[in-house]
Amino acid sequence: MANLRISIIGAGSAVFSMRIVSDLCKMPKLSGTEVVLMDIDEERLENFLVLARELTEFFGANLKFEKTLSLRKAIEGADFVINTALAGGHEYLNKVRAIGEKYGYYRGIDAQNYNFVTDYLNLTNWNQMTLFLKIANLIKELAPNAWYLQAANPVLEGTTLVSTETGIKMVGFCHGHFSVETLAELVGVKDYEWQVAGVNHGIWLTKFESRDGKNLYEELVKYADKPHKPSTPFDDQLSPVAWDMYRTYGLFPIGDTVRNSTWKYHRNLETKKRWYGEPWGGADSELGWEWYVSQLNAVVNMIELFAKAVKNGQKLTNAKDVVLNAIPHASEEWKNLIADLLDPSKLSREQHVPFIDSVVNSERRRFVVNVLNNGKIKGLDDDIAVEVCAYVEGEKFEFEEVSLPKRVLEWYLKPRTLLAKQALEVFKTKNLKLLEDILERDPRTKSSEQVRKVIDELYPIMLKEQKKVEEQE
């Protein structure tokens, strides 16, 4: 497609945006693409623009860039809109969590059963849901043939909401399925076949076989209860939680599904440490979150230093050494990120650009996608977004047949999708009695007075944050 226009909403989230631009540089058939960068933080937006142009020059790619603070201008005439924005940022998340904990809700009132993943508010994120709908409605008005690629959480609720309310072309993406590689390494295989299915942050390993048809689950269980020492708070794919969930549900949970688990594993910090490992107790404990924020701040500083170095005439290869020497406490993961960005043979772990290439240039590829169910997983409602494997060629999706055990459907997926639907109904109706009813069934609730107090304090903030998004240009 000539003159392709791709918009990135929340482009100031520079790590994700750098991956997208780096991937575009490595896709020759997408040469000539115009990339529109949109964010409400002008300083971060400018820093990323500097790096994006330098990255494009580094690869000798043909990409054009435009920046804007206007959502409307970003979407007008787009062919693909990638949304990575977190309305209110981490400040809003921290504020909601603090109010919840003030009234006895450990880690915040959004930490319901099957919904513990960081940045995944579903009951109080009216601002985020409003942003999702605003983007979708602008696409209907200004770019009716565009694809909306959902990257921002909550992908389950967001994909469900936008798809059912607007009917635009939409797909949600996550990279949690790559954790299958951890299991493959454990059993010592490099060439294997796999499949995952479920809902976002709630996917299960439905197929794990060698090329000659051997069931690798038989090899996997030999390593059950092997001592696990996490290298980071996010290193949980082989934690005691994962093995216990496997015994309970009959399939192995993959990626963030291990974090999306019941109160059995999350009651307090001591419990989290026992199940997710010392010293953090997983990514969603207070210690895990502190680690995450420190790493996030290091990366923000890294991006700022990179932009400054480039503005001062440094080339990326030289700037890399300058920056890494200035931030010695950044994790190896973040240090390796920069090397990968500059490696012409490596695409990132994000699916967005390969998907665009498959749609535009009819390159048949396999993806893990979030789309409305419509019978893809039997036993779940049609109007809920599911995460399944599909081959994409042009705008044709060929979905793989899925078979999930009754235990996973009845005891995990149905409760999780019910909560998603309840949260969306509360958002659409603003019926606080429904929100009260959800919290009355929360295991942390000791009285109705507790419920009323936390809602009374949260409700004005939720409305205020929603109004900010509504009024944004």
Condensed to tens digits (0 to 9), the pLDDT of residues 226-281 reads: 899 999 999 999 999 999 999 999 999 999 999 999 999 999 999 999 999 999 99
175 is annotated as an active-site residue: yes
Least confident piece of the model among 20-24, 109-113, 242-246? 109-113
Distance of CA 286 to the CA centre of its chain: 20
137 domain residue, yes or no: yes
| Peptide bond before residue 279 is cis, with ω within 30 degrees of 0 | yes
Domain C-terminal end among 275, 310, 342 = 342
pLDDT, one tens digit per residue, over 182-207 is 999 999 999 999 999 999 999 999 99
439 domain residue, yes or no: no
330 domain residue, yes or no: yes
Classified as helix, coil or strand, 3 is: coil
Mean of all residue pLDDT scores within the chain: 93
Both 217 and 91 in one domain: the answer is no
Cβ 343 vs Cβ 18: under 8 Å: no
Check whether 327 has a pLDDT greater than 70: no
Both 71 and 122 in one domain: the answer is yes
Both 211 and 189 in one domain: the answer is yes
142 domain residue, yes or no: yes
Amino acid at the residue 27: M
The reported pLDDT for the residue numbered 316 is: 72
Categorize the per-residue pLDDT at 299 as very low, low, confident or very high, splitting at 50, 70 and 90.
Answer: confident
Structural domain containing residue 301: 287-342
Query: Between 307 and 178, where is the model more confident?
Result: 178
Q: What does the alpha-carbon distance between residue 189 and residue 179 come to, in Å, rounded to a whole number? A: 14
Q: Which of 246, 249, 265, 292 is catalytic?
A: 265
Using N-to-C axis directions, what is the helix angle for 42-59 and 14-25, rounded to 10°?
Answer: 20
Which of 190, 283, 166 shows the shortest CA–CA distance to 232?
283
Which of 367, 417, 462 shows the shortest CA–CA distance to 159?
417
Q: Which tokens go with 45?
A: 């937006």
Q: Which tokens go with 201?
A: 């942050």
Q: What does the alpha-carbon distance between residue 427 and residue 420 come to, in Å, rounded to a whole number? A: 11
Give the number of other CB atoms < 10 A from CB of residue 19: 20
Both 214 and 86 in one domain: the answer is no
Total of domains in the chain: 3
- The helix (run of H) or strand (run of E) holding residue 100 is helix 89-102
Residue 42's CATH number: 3.40.50.720
Residues 6+ apart with CB under 8 A from 76: 142, 143
Binding site members: 153, 174, 201
Both 303 and 326 in one domain: the answer is yes
Categorize the per-residue pLDDT at 319 as very low, low, confident or very high, splitting at 50, 70 and 90.
Answer: low
228 is annotated as an active-site residue: no
The reported pLDDT for the residue numbered 171 is: 98
Q: What does the alpha-carbon distance between residue 206 and residue 250 come to, in Å, rounded to a whole number? A: 10
Cβ 57 vs Cβ 77: under 8 Å: no
Check whether 460 has a pLDDT greater than 80: yes
Both 121 and 253 in one domain: the answer is no
Categorize the per-residue pLDDT at 313 as very low, low, confident or very high, splitting at 50, 70 and 90.
Answer: confident
Categorize the per-residue pLDDT at 341 as very low, low, confident or very high, splitting at 50, 70 and 90.
Answer: confident
Check whether 12 has a pLDDT greater than 90: no
466 domain residue, yes or no: no
Both 187 and 241 in one domain: the answer is yes
Give the residues across from 198 on adjacent strands.
203, 387
Both 149 and 229 in one domain: the answer is no
452 domain residue, yes or no: no
The reported pLDDT for the residue numbered 103 is: 97
Q: Which of 90, 175, 217, 228 is catalytic?
A: 175
Residues 6+ apart with CB under 8 A from 14: 44, 47, 48, 51, 299, 300, 303
Categorize the per-residue pLDDT at 325 as very low, low, confident or very high, splitting at 50, 70 and 90.
Answer: low
pLDDT, one tens digit per residue, over 39-89 is 999 999 998 999 899 889 989 999 999 999 999 999 999 999 999 999 999
Both 146 and 207 in one domain: the answer is no
Q: Which tokens go with 147?
A: 């694809």
Q: What does the alpha-carbon distance between residue 331 and residue 293 come to, in Å, rounded to a whole number? A: 12
Q: Which tokens go with 311?
A: 């503005």
pLDDT, one tens digit per residue, over 278-296 is 999 999 999 999 999 888 8
pLDDT, one tens digit per residue, over 353-372 is 999 999 999 999 999 999 99
pLDDT, one tens digit per residue, over 151-167 is 999 999 999 999 999 99
The reported pLDDT for the residue numbered 118 is: 82
272 domain residue, yes or no: yes
Binding site members for Mn(2+): 174, 201
Check whether 1 has a pLDDT greater than 60: no
Both 231 and 203 in one domain: the answer is yes
Using CB atoms within 10 Å of the CB of residue 144, give its burial: 0 to 12 exposed, 13 to 18 middle, 19+ buried: exposed
Using CB atoms within 10 Å of the CB of residue 395, give its burial: 0 to 12 exposed, 13 to 18 middle, 19+ buried: exposed
Both 193 and 125 in one domain: the answer is no
Average pLDDT of span 432-436: 97
Domain C-terminal end among 258, 284, 310 = 284
State the pTM of this model.
Answer: 0.95
Domain C-terminal end among 173, 188, 215 = 173
107 domain residue, yes or no: no
Give the per-residue SS3 of 150-203: ECCCCHHHHHHHHHHHHCCEEEECCCHHHHHHHHHHHHCCCCEEEEEEEECCEE
Both 91 and 151 in one domain: the answer is yes
